[in-house]
Amino acid sequence: MVRLRLFGILLLLSNGIALAQDQPSFKPLRYNEDYSYLAKDSSRTFYEGLKYIPFSKQKSDSYLSVGGEARGQYFYIQNEDWGDSENDGDGYLLSRFLLHTDWRFSKNVRAFVQVQSSLASSRPITTPVEENPLDLHQAFVDVSAFDTDHSSMAFRVGRQELSYGSQRLISVRENPNNRQAFDAAKIMYKTKDVNLDLFYSHYVLAKKGVFDDGFNKDTRLWGAYSTFKSVPVLGGIDAYYLGFYKKSALFADVKGRELRHSVGSRVFGGLDSWNYDIEGLVQFGKLGSSKILAWTASINTTYSFDDIFLKPEIGLKAELISGDQGEKDRVGSFNALYPKGAYFGLAALIGPSNLAEFHPSINFQLAKDLEFSVDYDFFWRYSKADGIYGVNMVQIYDDGGSQNRHIGNQLIGALLYNPNRFLTLRGEFTWFQAGNYIKDVSAGKDIYISGLTAQVKF
């Protein structure tokens, strides 16, 4: 009851704030927000006073900022796990609370601290991704080496969120209840046309206690991620290398220490009403005594008809993601590392490994702040010798001896309402029609999911 009341208070507060304010949108990574512009406002409101609390009257870049969010979700699922789990008669509630403070001591030094509380109600069995009562989510320090009109370099050390590119490999995991973080050291170099990050990190494994998400020595992620902006003809280009280590991993029927290297590139941009995002990467290394050779390729494109009634936007996405071929001493299963949790819709039923996917969609602008979208996914197994995986890269079902590739089709309809930058409301319905492979390895029932989400940011 306490958290429901708190969420209600924040909901009312957000509407009141929104009527009085005209400010930039919140960033997906909250530590990227900069409220130093409020130093010029001598008549700051109560809300603006939270976003800009000056340490010094002489220095506009020396201040404290406070922010956060509250999100509540209700889900009802029929035939969870394609009928292999018992039906929950009345659904369940998920809630997430985030609170952060951003300490800007000077132009060159800042600290960012954020706590997270993720809770679940009426859910028979929960994972730490759904329920993590209270923990230190982020706590890092930035030190700037130099910052000129042409380039800058900064060092960041501590617990932090990482997000790169289309979030296919490294994401904040926004849609699931508990966002993910890394204990990391990072160098960030920027110019007008180039961004380059070098980092070394340990993944923070969520646990279901209070302030118990400690340092995790069993998984490591390191790499270099570069973005080249305004490239002639192509638009933007990402080029990256990622190294990954896990003390114990399991793919297909191979188990052991995993050392995996990912090398990839992404081309993205737009031309008038057309937007595109094309990515490909190769993975190699060792899992136990077996060699790794895996890959993925994807294309995601949209076209907007801005001059037509309801401004329809048509999208088309296609992906090929390798799976194990059953070869002795070779693992072909792709590891998506730390992707966005709801990879194929909010339902998050299947993860990105051993898949061939075709995904048309359409979005309508019903009103200024109201959108309706429909998308339809076709899923097949890329390899018959491998099964399907969850978004956490844990195998859901093995090949089961099935010779069928068709996993199923997924229809999603969603209504999104954004009356202001503080409040988001979303309603969604998912129907997953079981294919022949699912029928071979499980109870084979169709899954039906309905969900409601309300989110407030401040």
Structure tokens at 152: 């800058």
Handedness of CA 233, 236, 239, 242 (dihedral sign): negative
* Residue carrying the six token digits 């969420």: 7
Quickly state the pLDDT bin for 74 (edges 50, 70, 90).
Answer: very high
The ranges assigned to domains in the chain are 2-457
What's the number of CA atoms in the CB half-sphere (13 Å) around residue 297?
Answer: 1
pLDDT, average across residues 201-220:
93
Element (H, E) at 227: strand 219-231
363, 373 in Cβ contact below 8 A? yes
- Residues 358, 362, 363, 366: what is their CA dihedral angle, to the nearest 10 degrees? -150
**Between 414 and 39, whose confidence is greater?**
414
205, 178 in Cβ contact below 8 A? no
Beta pairing partners, 332 = none
What CATH number does domain 2-457 carry, 2.30.33.40, 2.60.40.10, 3.40.50.40, 2.40.160.100? 2.40.160.100
Question: What's the Cα-to-Cα distance from 160 to each of 66, 260, 411, rounded to whole Å?
Answer: 17, 22, 35
In this predicted structure, the answer to whether residue 240 has a pLDDT above a threshold of 90 is yes
402, 384 in Cβ contact below 8 A? yes
Tell me what pLDDT residue 2 has.
45
E strands in 312-384: 313-321, 330-331, 355-367, 370-380
Tell me what pLDDT residue 8 has.
55
What's the number of CA atoms in the CB half-sphere (13 Å) around residue 179?
Answer: 27
Separation between Cα atoms, residue 324 and residue 301, nearest integer Å: 28
- The single-letter DSSP state of residue 351 is -
- Kindly report the pTM of this predicted structure: 0.91
Separation between Cα atoms, residue 49 and residue 52, nearest integer Å: 5
Tell me what pLDDT residue 125 has.
79
Other Cβ atoms less than 10 A from the Cβ of 89: the count is 8
Tell me what pLDDT residue 7 has.
52
Tell me what pLDDT residue 11 has.
53
In this predicted structure, the answer to whether residue 18 has a pLDDT above a threshold of 60 is no
Sequence-separated (6 or more) residues with CB below 8 Å from residue 434: 82, 408, 442, 444, 445, 446, 447
294, 325 in Cβ contact below 8 A? no
In this predicted structure, the answer to whether residue 223 has a pLDDT above a threshold of 80 is yes
Q: What are phi and psi of 268, to 5 degrees?
A: -145, 160
Structure tokens at 122: 């009426």
In this predicted structure, the answer to whether residue 6 has a pLDDT above a threshold of 70 is no
Mean pLDDT of the chain: 92
pLDDT, average across residues 351-363:
95
